[in-house]
Structure 1
């Protein structure tokens, strides 16, 4: 007996993007949140790679969840850039200063910064140390939030501002979740006296830990 399962696939953004007025000037700086140093693509790859060396399962879960959501944000930014550049005439493209991008990519969506630098993996780090990685993640979320602040200062189109404000809010939520994850890691490492010594290379770690406990 053969059973057939009907699968429904809905192409739906995490937040709707419906831009009525194309504007290549706006696209020029919005694109930085796709392929720029503090953009969504770098964020997703950062967290996705860091998760493998994270020891605590609940923190690994946070990194997995947020890295997946950042991919959804890549979709939103890409949709914004795409809709802002559709239907433009060559004259409008030149007037907006979008002609250098057009020569290389026509109106395809390509990850680069607002300054025109292509995306590079050098934008993020995966160190394998939980405190180091989570501290970077906290800073990354704040840098992304600041970039969205800058975009909102420059953009007055409500069709663009609404999804950008949504993305900015998600950066704040991610910052809070990474803060919780860092506290969980610190509490776990503190029980192993991580802050007074590192047992992986400090032979006197046990004696130092005892001294630290007596001083408390």
Structure 2
């Protein structure tokens, strides 16, 4: 059960309307690393969690907080758009220079949302459930969570430097702080999983005996950059071996003959290079 409290987690009041910035702020709502993504990511992780107790409670606490972050941002977008879609824009576009700037606003915020936020990113691309990670493995999920919060904080920091509105900056300062603590909590939860004996460094902690032992501790040097083997990962007692001249282990990646009903372009002479050569040699021997 969820219950909505009619108060924002933190205030969301801009000093003045700014429809162009409202367009930019959409990224923090419906972008790949926006608040809608972490909201749904944590909700599904929590619902899928098979361990009652501290881990599930942490996930659900954070998921519910993220719903509030979507609300804060949606409220901020609506207030940044207040008076902008009609009157403010109509006056502004009389100046050609300002018209070019206003061209950066999202018309769908006015046309579709009636002067409000959209479940979309800053390009108007709709939010997609494929953005989320909820695998059921807490180690894999918590690592994804830390990465998501890192990307979200990075984008928030960039947007912080794109406005001089004191009200917007105050809200973003709060969001930055929450992204900071969420990164810390997921990283510490990863350590806790190991301390509790639930997971190890590698996810999942299974099939180590079955995996190919020859290839589970090597890095293949496959770029022109020469310095990959100078990192700490390839030195010391637990080093990963750096193969400086790796060789391919498989044959040509030739696709098989297509189903005739699919009408894929195909030449019988491409069945096997050796067969074609063999036929050529046979013809040559008959001529001589």
Q: Which has the higher contact order (CA 8 A, sep 6+)?
A: 1
For the Cα contact (< 8 Å) 1:82–1:109, is it kept in 2? yes
Q: 2:152 aligns with which of 141, 144, 149?
A: 144
Tell me the residue number matched to 1:62. 58
Q: Does 1:31 align with 2:26?
A: yes
Residues 4-153 of structure 1 mapped to structure 2, 5 A cutoff:
11-56=6-51, 57-88=53-84, 89=87, 90-91=89-90, 95=99, 96-97=102-103, 98=105, 100-101=107-108, 102-153=110-161
Does the C-alpha gap of structure 1 residues 24 and 93 become closer, same or farther in structure 2, counting only changes over 3 Å? farther
Runs of at least 5 residues in structure 2 that lack an aligned partner in the other structure: 94-98, 211-288
Q: 1:167 aligns with which of 152, 172, 175?
A: 175
> How many pairs align?
194
Runs of at least 5 residues in structure 1 that lack an aligned partner in the other structure: 1-8, 205-216
Q: Which moved more, 1:25-34 or 1:91-100?
A: 91-100
Q: CA offsets, 1:150-208, max 9 Å, x none? A: 10111111111100110111000111111121111122336x87869856x6788xxxx
Corresponding residue SS for 2:197: helix
For the Cα contact (< 8 Å) 1:24–1:93, is it kept in 2? no
Distance 1:11 1:196 in 2: 41
Compute the TM-score of the two structures, normalised by the length of structure 2: 0.61
More helix as a share of residues: 1
CA RMSD of aligned residues (A): 2.6
For the Cα contact (< 8 Å) 1:93–1:99, is it kept in 2? no
Distance 2:32 2:150 in 1: 13
For the Cα contact (< 8 Å) 1:43–1:140, is it kept in 2? yes
For the Cα contact (< 8 Å) 1:44–1:68, is it kept in 2? yes
Distance 1:81 1:169 in 2: 20
For the Cα contact (< 8 Å) 2:12–2:171, is it kept in 1? yes
Distance 1:196 1:140 in 2: 18
Does the C-alpha gap of structure 1 residues 184 and 116 become closer, same or farther in structure 2, counting only changes over 3 Å? same
Does the C-alpha gap of structure 1 residues 87 and 58 become closer, same or farther in structure 2, counting only changes over 3 Å? same
Compute the TM-score of the two structures, normalised by the length of structure 1: 0.80
